[in-house]
């Protein structure tokens, strides 16, 4: 049994949840404590009590702690990557890569702790100096989803601590293993008691108490959860940052390099079981290349192995749980009901171990008005929308309530440049999958995908600090 971490102590919960391997439902990884609302409130109080001291530690102390976390993650990447794959279902190489990414994020923000920006501006009044400073916000509530169990917590916790904030971290209840391992590393990295707290359990039960106990809340999750959290945060007038869903278009033009386009589509739509907010779920393809593109993607899908996440032969692991599998199947059925063709896959598969295996599904003959192209599936399902030309492709790409990532495959500088300027998304890719990002640059979307300041890179300073303008008159 793994416990919550509150005020520097490992604390049992009121209850516990089993962490089940989606590649093999008979494999229970461990049991993880569920925090009560009282425990969450206690963690918030502990963080609040510690905040003034932590906020005034030297940047070097915080940098050293973050660097130590990054170092241990790197050293244990194989073990922790395996744990991650076991609980989430992405293949082991992706699990290890995610742990490395988390380490890189901690090391990046170790550096940022030593580079907290400020400004000196000449006053309009004689003899007065103006300093613009950045200070920590206070206690940050961090709520994360299940699809990146290590990287998303890292890119929220690392900047929070780097800039001198305290943390209340609540991971998704489906993947407490990576979160617990990360908390254990942070607990031993020289962070004082109360600065970092782990509270596990369902957000529907403890989420409100968490939002009520913090000075700022950052959440990555679905739109309904984000909306609820934002309303509560605004009610308390606290800072709020949300990263939510996507329905990301990848445009393929007649002049595209077919191999690059197919690789971008297959990687972006289906790798990591399509369970990425940046997944290329709408493939918007012009008429001249449509049939060749669909044939080449299908040929590639035929060769992909769906199986146990820890098997070296596997390209695509299982769906994360039964509920998500049912949701994926229901989206496919609705699409077929609306006239889409199930061109490939979309079948539940049996493997040696009982798990949630689904063959990658390519839907063709879809229109952008169909539900499959309006709502996020969050599974290995992509639909092809046939369009006449670039102008129609751009219009279809931007016709969505979301605006996280977008991409175009083309050899035309003119169209690539125009798309970069006119895509209504926060991330734009040219001849690359819509998913797969660098760790040191800003990340986030527009419209229904994101709310509040950007995450990651130097831009993280906006959310995790508060600006103070100081006026000084020399005597």
Q: Between 151 and 289, whose beta carbon lies closer to ligand NAD?
A: 151
243 touches ligand NAD (CB under 6 A): yes
277 touches ligand NAD (CB under 6 A): yes
404 touches ligand NAD (CB under 6 A): yes
Contact 250, 280 (CB under 8 A): yes
Q: Between 146 and 180, whose beta carbon lies closer to ligand NAD?
A: 146
Pick the piece of the chain touching ligand NAD (CB under 6 A) from 20-28, 106-114, 128-136, 242-250. Answer: 242-250
50, with CB counted inside 10 A (0-12, 13-18, 19+), is: buried
- List residues bridging with 61 in a β-sheet: none
Q: Between 277 and 309, whose beta carbon lies closer to ligand NAD?
A: 277
Cα(53)–Cα(204) distance, integer angstroms:
32
∠ CA 165-170-173, rounded to 5°: 165
244 touches ligand NAD (CB under 6 A): yes
Pick the piece of the chain touching ligand NAD (CB under 6 A) from 196-204, 259-267, 308-316, 407-415. Answer: 196-204
Residue 361 designated active-site = no
146 touches ligand NAD (CB under 6 A): yes
Cα(396)–Cα(383) distance, integer angstroms:
13
Tokens of 230: 């934002």
Residue 312 beta carbon to ligand NAD: minimum distance, rounded to whole angstroms: 26
Contact 84, 77 (CB under 8 A): no
Q: Which residue has the tokens 């690392």?
A: 158
Residues 367-396 contacting ligand NAD, CB under 6 A: 376, 378
**400: closest CA among 410, 389, 385?**
385
Residue 129 designated active-site = no
Pick the piece of the chain touching ligand NAD (CB under 6 A) from 60-68, 100-108, 214-222, 409-417. Answer: 214-222
Residues 435-474 contacting ligand NAD, CB under 6 A: 449
204 touches ligand NAD (CB under 6 A): yes
Tokens of 182: 């990360």
Contact 136, 214 (CB under 8 A): no
332 touches ligand NAD (CB under 6 A): no
Q: How many CA atoms lie within 13 A of 126 on its CB side?
A: 0
Tokens of 330: 């229901």
Q: Between 170 and 308, whose beta carbon lies closer to ligand NAD?
A: 170
Which one of residues 72, 173, 212, 215 is an interface residue with ligand NAD (CB under 6 A)?
Answer: 173
Given 3-state DSSP classes, what are the helix, strand and coil percentages for the chain, each rounded to the nearest 5?
40, 25, 35
98 touches ligand NAD (CB under 6 A): no
Q: Between 144 and 273, whose beta carbon lies closer to ligand NAD?
A: 144
141 touches ligand NAD (CB under 6 A): no
CA distances from 355 to 86, 285, 306, 322, 332 (A): 11, 34, 11, 9, 19
- Binding-residue total with ligand NAD (CB under 6 A): 28
Cα(281)–Cα(278) distance, integer angstroms:
9
Tokens of 455: 């995450």
CA distances from 330 to 113, 334, 374, 427 (A): 46, 6, 14, 29
**315: closest CA among 325, 323, 305, 324?**
305
Could you say which of 243, 263, 376, 455 is catalytic?
Answer: 243
163 touches ligand NAD (CB under 6 A): no
Pick the piece of the chain touching ligand NAD (CB under 6 A) from 139-147, 176-184, 292-300, 355-363. Answer: 139-147
Could you say which of 277, 361, 376, 409 is catalytic?
Answer: 277
Which one of residues 19, 225, 241, 273 is an interface residue with ligand NAD (CB under 6 A)?
Answer: 225
Pick the piece of the chain touching ligand NAD (CB under 6 A) from 31-39, 55-63, 144-152, 355-363. Answer: 144-152
87 touches ligand NAD (CB under 6 A): no
231 touches ligand NAD (CB under 6 A): no
Quick check: helix, strand or coil at residue 279? coil
Q: Between 13 and 246, whose beta carbon lies closer to ligand NAD?
A: 246
Quick check: helix, strand or coil at residue 20? strand
Q: Between 13 and 307, whose beta carbon lies closer to ligand NAD?
A: 13
360 touches ligand NAD (CB under 6 A): no
**195: closest CA among 154, 135, 139, 152?**
139
What are the residues binding ligand NAD (CB under 6 A)? 143-148, 170, 172-173, 202-204, 207, 220-222, 225, 228-229, 243-246, 277, 376, 378, 404, 449
For the annotated catalytic residues, the residue numbers are: 243, 277
């Amino acid at each position: 049994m793994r416990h919550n971490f509150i005020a520097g102590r490992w604390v049992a919960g009121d209850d516990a949840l089993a962490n089940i391997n989606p590649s093999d439902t008979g494999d229970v990884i461990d049991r993880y404590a569920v925090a009560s609302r009282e425990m969450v409130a206690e963690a918030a109080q502990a963080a609040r009590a510690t905040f003034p001291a932590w906020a005034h530690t030297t940047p070097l102390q915080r940098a050293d702690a973050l660097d130590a976390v990054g170092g241990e993650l790197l050293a244990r990447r194989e073990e922790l990557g395996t744990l991650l794959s076991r609980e989430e279902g992405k293949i082991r190489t992706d699990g290890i890569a995610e742990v490395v990414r988390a380490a890189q994020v901690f090391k990046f923000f170790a550096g940022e702790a030593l580079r907290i920006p400020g400004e000196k501006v000449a006053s309009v009044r004689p003899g007065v100096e103006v300093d613009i400073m950045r200070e920590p916000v206070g206690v940050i509530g961090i709520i994360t989803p299940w699809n990146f169990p290590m990287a998303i917590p890292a890119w929220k916790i690392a900047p929070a601590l780097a800039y001198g904030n305290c943390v209340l971290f609540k991971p998704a209840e489906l993947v407490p293993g990576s979160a617990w391992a990360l908390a254990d590393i942070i607990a031993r990295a020289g962070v004082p008691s109360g600065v970092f707290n782990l509270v596990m359990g369902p957000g529907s039960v403890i989420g409100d108490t968490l939002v009520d106990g913090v000075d700022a809340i950052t959440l990555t999750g679905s739109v309904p959860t984000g909306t609820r959290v934002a309303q509560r945060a605004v009610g308390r007038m606290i800072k709020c940052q949300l990263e939510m869903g996507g329905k990301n278009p990848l445009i393929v033009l007649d002049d595209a390099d077919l191999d690059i386009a197919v690789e971008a589509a297959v990687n972006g739509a289906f790798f990591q079981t399509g369970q990425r907010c940046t997944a290329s779920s709408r493939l918007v393809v012009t008429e001249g290349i449509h049939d060749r593109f669909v044939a080449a993607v299908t040929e590639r899908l035929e060769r992909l192995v769906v199986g146990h996440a820890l098997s070296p032969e596997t390209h695509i692991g299982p769906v994360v749980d039964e509920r998500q599998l049912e949701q994926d199947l229901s989206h496919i059925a609705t699409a077929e009901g609306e006239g889409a063709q199930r061109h490939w896959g979309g079948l539940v598969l049996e493997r040696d171990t009982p798990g949630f295996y689904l063959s990658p599904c390519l839907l063709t003959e879809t229109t952008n008005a169909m539900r499959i192209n309006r709502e996020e599936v969050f599974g290995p399902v992509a639909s092809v929308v046939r369009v006449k030309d670039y102008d129609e492709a751009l219009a279809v790409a931007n016709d969505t309530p979301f605006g996280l990532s977008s991409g175009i495959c083309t050899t035309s500088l003119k169209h690539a440049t125009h798309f970069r300027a006119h895509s209504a998304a926060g991330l734009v890719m040219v001849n690359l999958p819509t998913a797969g990002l660098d760790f040191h640059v800003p990340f986030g979307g527009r419209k229904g995908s994101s709310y509040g300041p950007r995450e990651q890179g130097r831009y993280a300073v906006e959310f995790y600090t508060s600006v103070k303008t100081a006026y000084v008159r020399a005597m």
